Amino acid sequence: MKAYIDIGANREFKLREAVLVYRTGGDGAFASLHKVEQSQDGAPYLAAGELLNTAFVRTLAEGLGARVKPEILPDNILARTPDLLVWWSRPQCRVMFFGGTDEQARKLNGLVLPHPALVFKVAGRDLSVRALATTSRPAGNSPLKTAPYWNTDNRGLVCPGTMRVPESSDVSSIPQWQAAYFQSNFTHAVGAVRLTNHPGGFIGLWRSLANRKRFAVRYLTDAGETLEEFVARGADR
């Protein structure tokens, strides 16, 4: 989370309190609040602590969030936190670019081809993509499909390759993320992911879509997770 504090010439900041966080070997943790005292020689030291109360946590959270810019969320946003952005796009035709050494793939370079509905997730600087077999806005329990694209692994994580990664991940940057993904070159499969069940494989799928208006969703493979699970993986990173 990014927080900004304006420090004016007429404001003086002094170290007055400290928060200590204690962790176990597992997931257990607690925090204590300590006043900062001064010894006779002027050296600071921590006084006895007390467990954090909800009033202090609320005050701290409000202070950190005081300069977080509010955003109006459009209908395509599925999830949003300070570090995570998830949205979906409807089926549409897009230009595709293919690089690498595969001659059959290069013949498809620059063609306008139909694409399925997609779910995009930005977590930090990482982009992940899944596909949908439906054309309606997905719910938390909606099953996801594997995105039928090279440069994308079995988790949906995109290998950036020639992609120009946008600097921000706020709502206004969504067009930049989608453009960066589809304006990059699809060059290779990543790992042992099954991108499609088309009998002609990946190249056969996209060759069959030339001159068509709709993506054949019957050739999508199951991703093995729901939208809720996909979002949770980004929140836990």
For residue 136, pLDDT beyond 90:
yes
User: Is 9 inside any structural domain?
Assistant: no
Residues 37 and 151 reside in one and the same domain = no
Q: Are residues 128 and 186 in the same domain?
A: yes
- Whether residue 153 sits in one domain with residue 91: yes
| Greater pLDDT, 8 or 51 | 51
SS3 of 94-129: the string is: EECCECCCCHHHHCCCCCEEEECEEEEEEECCEEEE
CB of 187 closer than 8 Å to CB of 108? no
pTM of the model: 0.73
One domain for residues 127 and 49: no
Sheet holding 29-38, edge to edge: 17-23, 29-38, 44-51
Say if residue 53 is in the same domain as residue 87.
Answer: no
Q: 151 and 178 share a domain?
A: yes
Is residue 90 in some structural domain? Answer: yes
State whether 144 and 30 are in the same domain. Answer: no
Q: What are phi and psi of 57, to 5 degrees?
A: -60, -40
Higher-confidence residue: 85 or 102? 85
For residues 134 and 40, membership in a common domain is answered with: no
pLDDT of residue 67: 53
CA distances for 28 relative to 24, 33, 53, 63, angstroms: 5, 18, 18, 26
pLDDT in tens, 175-207: 999 999 999 999 999 988 999 999 999 999 999
Instruction: Name the domain count of the chain.
Output: 2
| Residue 107 sits in the same domain as residue 150 | yes
Instruction: Take residue 83 and report the two structure tokens written for it.
Output: 């570090």
Does 200 lie in the same domain as 96? yes
Residue 114 lies in a domain: yes
Q: Taking all residues of the chain, what is their mean pLDDT, rounded to a whole number?
A: 88
- Host domain of residue 125: 77-235
pLDDT level of residue 169 (50, 70, 90 thresholds): confident
In this structure, is residue 186 part of a structural domain?
yes
**Within this chain, do residues 111 and 54 fall inside the same structural domain, yes or no?**
no
